[in-house]
Structure 1
């Protein structure tokens, strides 16, 4: 967790966390069956924010977690709390949330046990739903609270409106209505769900089209592909195109960070291709193998040198070229990445065997493969996987959401980074290693298969 009140947060391994939420807390079946559940949110919070709860949660711990997930910091102007001094570990988070309107009282009570209702009141404001809540007339509040067998008379008018909005928007899932009715200390599962929902409402949780098992996933993939175009980022492209001309790189990708999946790395893989039919059949292949996963479509443009001796290039909406000074061309091809977040690490590990058996071309007359299979398929992981090879990504960002990246062997990375910076001294190059499939690794080494 970021250093707000880090000492009060209790941490443990992601696997143990997921087990505790899904198993020891006896997560209701209806919650587990309706998409992301408490275990999913808990794993995300631990993996992305280093936030975990072990046992009873205090209000101060919940406030620290909210401030972290919202990326809030304390304002320069001091907040005069009645019970929290500026040197109190809870101050920074409380002041940040007060400044953001999530806390509305100058009495914080950070050591108090976090009750279910208290957690909901805070989550409604942190999720940006308070304006919606305060539009509720009395009759609508009564009708909404009745879904959870609650009475408006048990709360102040403002509190009743906040609970009604939490129920109607799904911020408070049905599986946790009973906790609110009893208003006991909030369970770990409820805390994880509310924090996860706050992330979702603030567009900082995962991004995906759906699950491989969804009936409409193929329609969504087709829509995503059809509405994607060759990415245009002139300022950024000038730098990487110059790098291509000078031979610093042999190719690069342009991507849009607004489509980043933000998946949990330990369960995620990214697969690159250019053909829509291949994407549809790949998802069908996973379904046939009994594998489910979250699916995100990421538009991508691949750029490379097209040599003049290859002949006059034909152009289309998905393939364009620009001739350069020596008579060669820079080609821009519409491609995509599909990112998957698997349900288990074992399913992620199985992916390679499936691709090598059904989506890897080994001869011109190969049969038994899904459509448009490549000689060197490309898929990779940000965490180590047995049977994969370590390579480098050399990444630069332009104005706005676009970035360019060029994959390389590790011993070439420093030269590429220095080459980028020689083209623009203000440029920041992000270089990191990741794990790629063996056929693509052999391709980087100049091998044909």
Structure 2
């Protein structure tokens, strides 16, 4: 059966979907769901291993046990994805064409490296790493507001006597930058007692600074909170209420035509700015349309001793609504547009919840809980959480036992993307069809693993 996406049945509200809000709502939600370090929502500081894994997975950065200034400069450029604006820089000790030149020039052009000497081969000291990270985190203007007394006070937390610097004389600028790193939390409190001027920066120290830098720039994991946070339900509701149906004409013109031609039976629209950026080995994504279901699902995990980070990713689903189903009822979260053959394209507000579990064992247990408490096996089945589906949808980007492999076909415009799930043997046909509809479109196709009930749904089993 050639099914690229779940076929909508009347009143079923079953597709994988997307939603997004107006610019105002987007700004409001972003302020309430920051992609910053865990301190932003009261949870603990990320561990060194979390930062290491994130750097490896997202930037292919593996830190050596002994770092040079050049290593750290290269890593900062990688994490912020910085490229030089023009080849107009000049260093006393680094020439164009050398491997580090582009990274150093990119940092120099943004005021992160301010000296004409890079000293790339010199050992990276802890203070040098902080100086670079602070400027890369866009905190230097704040730092330079510090009068001497305020800087000196903050440096006592590092057991540093300013201006003497415990034998390492500090300029006012250096003192200001270290002090601001302390006060803002860029340098976590766990590293205060061990900090020493002139001391080589360890790989652990450097990994934490790079992770903190990503947090300050909004590029680390993005989530509302954790399953066991007291305010997680409130945050979940607020995030959901801020959603609105998204319209991205450049994407929809392609995938709506794909719907009309039966190339796909449905698609989602999503916004990558809400992506959780979780560790793929520990995370799952769960799709639904009822916020009460999400609240009860989190309560279920909590009651079963499961701990996980939680992110709500807005999503709008698009599918064909057949004219014989009757006149569709439109709301703020459900719109239809009539097409040439008298049918409609329907757009429905839904969501994905991304979970990052504390352990792989907890990730594996999630399916057991869904099968027992969140999957219908008969009409009016008792003992299930609200609005449970016949075929719940959740998936992993890494292989997991008892899940089935399917494919995604994705096209992107700016931060937005449209995607359609399919059976693996349909990927090439869908990708080629999308390219035919829009020769300039870049189609990203990849495999992932989904629960068996949803896989059966793609095969045409609607129960």
Under a length normalisation based on structure 2, what TM-score does the superposition of the two structures give?
0.86
Between 313-322 and 190-199, report the one with greater CA deviation: 313-322
Aligned to 1:4: none
State the distance in 2 between where 1:374 and 1:190 align: 47
**Partners of 1:75 and 1:301 in 2: CA distance:** 37
Partner of 2:308: 293
What residue is the counterpart of 2:10 in the other structure? Answer: none
Runs of 5+ consecutive residues of structure 1 not aligned to the other structure: 1-31
Q: Is 1:172 aligned with 2:172?
A: no
Aligned-partner Cα distance in 2 for 1:41–1:102: 22
Match among 338, 341, 344 for residue 359 of structure 2 = 344
Aligned position for 1:119: 129
**SS of aligned partner of 2:195:** helix
Q: Does 1:57 align with 2:71?
A: no
| Superposed structure 1 runs of 4+ greater than 6 Å apart | none
For the residues of structure 2 that align with 1:33 and 1:188, how far apart are their CA atoms? 24
Q: Quote how far apart the aligned CAs of 1:183 are.
A: 4.5
Per-residue CA deviations over 1:28-59 (Å, capped at 9, x if unaligned) read: xxxx9723122211110111111122322222
1:53 counterpart SS class: coil
Where structure 2 has 5 or more consecutive residues not aligned to the other structure, the ranges are: 1-41
- Does structure 1 residue 411 correspond to structure 2 residue 425? yes
Larger CA deviation: 433-442 vs 308-317: 308-317
Equivalent pair of 1:116/1:179 in contact (CA under 8 Å):
no
Q: 1:367 aligns with which of 382, 385, 389?
A: 382
Q: Distance in 2 between matches of 1:91 and 1:250?
A: 50
Q: Distance in 2 between matches of 1:282 and 1:243?
A: 34
- Stretch of structure 1 that moved more, 140-149 or 277-286: 140-149
> What's the CA shift string for 1:127-156, capped at 9, x where partnerless?
111111111122321232233333331221
Q: Report the more deviating stretch, 372-381 or 141-150.
A: 141-150
Which of 118, 136, 141 is the matching residue for 2:146? 136
For this pair of structures, how many residues does the alignment match? Answer: 417
Deviation at 1:217, TM superposition (A): 0.8
Equivalent residue, structure 2, for 1:245: 260
The answer as to 2:446 corresponding to 1:447 is: no
Give 1:169 deviation, angstroms: 1.0
Contact in 2 for aligned 1:320/1:331 (Cα 8 Å): yes
CA distance in 1, matches of 2:338, 2:81: 45
CA–CA separation in structure 2 for the residues paired with 1:150 and 1:165: 14
**C-alpha distance in 1 between matches for 2:43 and 2:419:** 38
Q: Is residue 127–residue 197 contact of structure 2 (8 Å, CA) maintained in 1?
A: no
- SS of 1:180's equivalent in the other structure is coil
* Aligned equivalents of 1:35, 1:293: Cα separation in 2: 15
Cα gap change, 1:404/1:104 in structure 2, threshold over 3 Å: closer, same or farther?
A: same
> Residue 68 of structure 1: CA displacement?
0.9
Please name the residue that 1:401 is paired with. Answer: 415
More moved, 324-333 vs 122-131: 324-333
Q: Secondary structure at the match of 2:214?
A: helix
User: Alpha-carbon deviations, 1:81-111, whole Å to 9, x = none?
Assistant: 2233335433332222222221111222222
CA distance in 2, matches of 1:444, 1:148: 59
Range with bigger deviation, 263-272 or 82-91: 82-91
The alignment yields a C-alpha RMSD, in angstroms, of 1.8
Higher normalized contact order (CA 8 Å, seq sep 6+, divided by chain length): 2
The within-5 A match list for 1:185-264 is 185-264=200-279
Deviations 1:174-230 (A, max 9, x none): 110123246422222211110001112222221111111211111100000011011
Give 3-state SS (helix, strand or coil) of 2:123's partner: coil
Q: Distance in 2 between matches of 1:379 and 1:104?
A: 48
Q: Provide TM-score, normalisation by structure 1.
A: 0.89
Contact map agreement 1:48 1:264 (CA 8 A) in 2: no
CA contact (8 A) 1:148 1:174 kept: no
Could you tell me which residue of structure 2 aligns to residue 7 of structure 1?
A: none
Find out whether 1:90 has 2:100 as its counterpart: yes
Aligned-partner Cα distance in 1 for 2:60–2:272 = 23
Task: Quote the residue 1:43 is aligned against.
Answer: 53
Q: Offset at 1:78? A: 5.1
1:324 aligns with 2:339: yes
| Residue 275 of structure 1: aligned partner | 290
Question: Among 441, 446, 450, which residue is 1:436 paired with?
Answer: 450
1:101 aligns with 2:116: no
In 1, are the aligned partners of 2:125 and 2:197 still within 8 Å (CA)?
Answer: no
Structure 2 SS opposite 1:315: coil
Residues 179, 186 of structure 1: 8 Å contact kept: no
Deviations 1:212-250 (A, max 9, x none): 121111110000001101112223222211211111111
Give me the whole-angstrom Cα distance separating, in 2, the residues matched to 1:339 and 1:385: 16
In the alignment, which residue of structure 2 is the partner of 1:18? none
User: Where does residue 9 of structure 1 map in the other structure?
Assistant: none
Aligned equivalents of 1:346, 1:183: Cα separation in 2: 43
Q: CA deviation at 1:252?
A: 0.7
Cα separation, partners in 2 of 1:418 and 1:81, compared to 1, 3 Å: same
